[in-house]
Chain A
């Protein structure tokens, strides 16, 4: 299929005796937002790790733009345009926001050791061009100009997540892998993040593959949803399809109805004591 930018074929991964992924196959359509959902421990993050090359699946192939990338080292894959953010924030705490973002662009820069030591001509020009690009395209877009020279360690959680996104953007991705981009955020911050993702997708035409547990957001913004359970793919399709799949409801969604649950637990009674 021409319009699938990423294709996974029969990915199986296990640790010792623990089967984390078994025979997972699906495709990620170019220019769309695809979400992976599934219970905790289903293997979503592991799948991301397999895509970015940190885990080596025992079986299966990964195609990126029609090319098998299964044998490539992680840095090579990043260079090809597979960028990601991490479930547990993984910023470089010893660097400023700006440097964290610049690091994302690492694989596109060419400065060698000697040039770097003396900061001569080419090295300097390259750095300046990078700075310009990061400033105008990423920092402005994500509205983080006021914190660019701060150390990331002192930032609020929501901002850290945003810097992670910025760093991923600096990789110059064709596919953006986001692992739980709005976990731990309040409604307002979630809305901001959703907005950025939508803009990236619609205005920059970027393909997004994300893992997220906030079903409200997944349903609202994704074009395709893939459901994993115990390492197996149990459903895929549009948000609407998936939402009504009984197996998905049983394994993952639950009732989703708060007042129902309240009644079931008889909380009202307790509340009015």
Chain B
């Protein structure tokens, strides 16, 4: 066995996984607070990447300005989405809300095509290019730096939810809105913040993904992998998002490396099925309370 190749692939896989984790985190935050499964998260990533392209590529602003702006834009998109179409759906069956987000993704895809055209785009280079060698071990620099940035934001989020009341407010709101209100928790605000920060995480990931994978109005479809990630980790678990992301990223890459790309989806979904049968709420998801 070629161990060097194994380690190189592993690092690449974990790096991809870190970005998955970031999107998954955004997804989980939104789910935790609002119990909404956001199928449009891929499109939010895509739009944010286009924003970055506009700021950095077309207006030629410095990436250090363009990137936060793109994240802000993604966050605002999430926040506006929440206000306009999620809040009125409160209390409706979760699956109707899912459908609304699917409708939204169609809107965003069309809008991107109208605004930025249908063609594929490449983001301006903003990450260092020189390949990194750790001894013999080669790491693609884009991927490495992307992963570092992603991990940076991940850590910020995790620290916040670990050490502040924010996490409790989020879950309280999700569990019982009326009661959360009666505790003095501003439910609309929690919702809005969740969508804002969740989308912002996705936005950053969107830019990073597009930086190495390119961009088109249909790029959002990569979020399919994210669904797998959050199910692996558990829909409502931040830890799950982190671990699930790394795991899926690594597994996908290893499958690609040793079996071939056509087996990626097959492996992941097969494994997912086994995980679910053993742990129906993913690795870290909370079990739904069932009482009579």
Residues on B with beta carbons closer than 8 Å to the beta carbon of A54: 292
Q: Closest CB-CB distance, B56 to chain A, in whole Å?
A: 52
Q: Closest CB-CB distance, A271 to chain B, in whole Å?
A: 28
User: In the docked arrangement, what's the CA distance between A17 and B292, Å?
Assistant: 20
- Contacting residues of chain B (123-146) with chain A, CB-CB under 8 angstroms: none
Interface residues as binary, A66-87 with B (CB distance below 8 Å gives 1, 0 otherwise): 0000000000000000000011
For residue B290, which residue of chain A has the nearest CB? Answer: A54
Interface residues as binary, A41-77 with B (CB distance below 8 Å gives 1, 0 otherwise): 0000100110010100000000000000000000000
Q: Closest CB-CB distance, A78 to chain B, in whole Å?
A: 13
For residue A74, which residue of chain B has the nearest CB? Answer: B292
For residue A84, which residue of chain B has the nearest CB? Answer: B292
Q: Closest CB-CB distance, B199 to chain A, in whole Å?
A: 33
Interface residues as binary, A119-146 with B (CB distance below 8 Å gives 1, 0 otherwise): 0000000000000000000000000000
For residue A54, which residue of chain B has the nearest CB? Answer: B292
- Contacting residues of chain B (244-275) with chain A, CB-CB under 8 angstroms: none
Q: Closest CB-CB distance, A85 to chain B, in whole Å?
A: 10
Which bucket holds chain A's interface residue count?
under 10
For residue A90, which residue of chain B has the nearest CB? Answer: B292
Q: Closest CB-CB distance, A87 to chain B, in whole Å?
A: 8
User: In the docked arrangement, what's the CA distance between A48 and B292, Å?
Assistant: 9
Interface residues as binary, B266-292 with A (CB distance below 8 Å gives 1, 0 otherwise): 000000000000000000000000001
User: In the docked arrangement, what's the CA distance between A52 and B291, Å?
Assistant: 13
For residue A179, which residue of chain B has the nearest CB? Answer: B292
- Contacting residues of chain A (86-111) with chain B, CB-CB under 8 angstroms: 86-87, 90
For residue A52, which residue of chain B has the nearest CB? Answer: B292
Q: Closest CB-CB distance, B146 to chain A, in whole Å?
A: 42
Residues on B with beta carbons closer than 8 Å to the beta carbon of A49: 292
For residue A55, which residue of chain B has the nearest CB? Answer: B292
User: In the docked arrangement, what's the CA distance between A87 and B291, Å?
Assistant: 10
User: In the docked arrangement, what's the CA distance between A153 and B292, Å?
Assistant: 18
Residues on A with beta carbons closer than 8 Å to the beta carbon of B292: 45, 48-49, 52, 54, 86-87, 90
User: In the docked arrangement, what's the CA distance between A87 and B292, Å?
Assistant: 7
Residues on B with beta carbons closer than 8 Å to the beta carbon of A45: 292
For residue A45, which residue of chain B has the nearest CB? Answer: B292
For residue A48, which residue of chain B has the nearest CB? Answer: B292
User: In the docked arrangement, what's the CA distance between A52 and B292, Å?
Assistant: 11
User: In the docked arrangement, what's the CA distance between A54 and B292, Å?
Assistant: 8
User: In the docked arrangement, what's the CA distance between A49 and B292, Å?
Assistant: 7
User: In the docked arrangement, what's the CA distance between A48 and B291, Å?
Assistant: 12
Residues on B with beta carbons closer than 8 Å to the beta carbon of A86: 292
Q: Closest CB-CB distance, A139 to chain B, in whole Å?
A: 25
User: In the docked arrangement, what's the CA distance between A196 and B13, Å?
Assistant: 67
User: In the docked arrangement, what's the CA distance between A45 and B292, Å?
Assistant: 8
Residues on B with beta carbons closer than 8 Å to the beta carbon of A48: 292
- Contacting residues of chain B (189-223) with chain A, CB-CB under 8 angstroms: none
Interface residues as binary, B169-187 with A (CB distance below 8 Å gives 1, 0 otherwise): 0000000000000000000
- Contacting residues of chain A (206-232) with chain B, CB-CB under 8 angstroms: none
User: In the docked arrangement, what's the CA distance between A54 and B290, Å?
Assistant: 10
User: In the docked arrangement, what's the CA distance between A49 and B290, Å?
Assistant: 12
Q: Closest CB-CB distance, A9 to chain B, in whole Å?
A: 22
User: In the docked arrangement, what's the CA distance between A90 and B292, Å?
Assistant: 8
Q: Closest CB-CB distance, A50 to chain B, in whole Å?
A: 11
Q: Closest CB-CB distance, A115 to chain B, in whole Å?
A: 31
User: In the docked arrangement, what's the CA distance between A90 and B251, Å?
Assistant: 43
User: In the docked arrangement, what's the CA distance between A132 and B282, Å?
Assistant: 47
For residue A49, which residue of chain B has the nearest CB? Answer: B292
Residues on B with beta carbons closer than 8 Å to the beta carbon of A90: 292
User: In the docked arrangement, what's the CA distance between A184 and B292, Å?
Assistant: 18
Residues on B with beta carbons closer than 8 Å to the beta carbon of A52: 292
Q: Closest CB-CB distance, B272 to chain A, in whole Å?
A: 28
Q: Closest CB-CB distance, A149 to chain B, in whole Å?
A: 23
User: In the docked arrangement, what's the CA distance between A2 and B116, Å?
Assistant: 83
Q: Closest CB-CB distance, A15 to chain B, in whole Å?
A: 11
Residues on B with beta carbons closer than 8 Å to the beta carbon of A87: 292
Q: Closest CB-CB distance, A140 to chain B, in whole Å?
A: 29
Q: Closest CB-CB distance, B172 to chain A, in whole Å?
A: 20
Interchain Cβ contacts under 8 Å between A and B, 8 examples: A45-B292, A48-B292, A49-B292, A52-B292, A54-B292, A86-B292, A87-B292, A90-B292
Knowing that A45-B292, A52-B292, A54-B292 touch, tell me 5 more A-B residue pairs with CB under 8 angstroms.
A48-B292, A49-B292, A86-B292, A87-B292, A90-B292
Residues of B within 8 A of A (CB): 292
8 tightest A-B CB contacts, nearest first = A54-B292, A49-B292, A86-B292, A90-B292, A45-B292, A87-B292, A48-B292, A52-B292
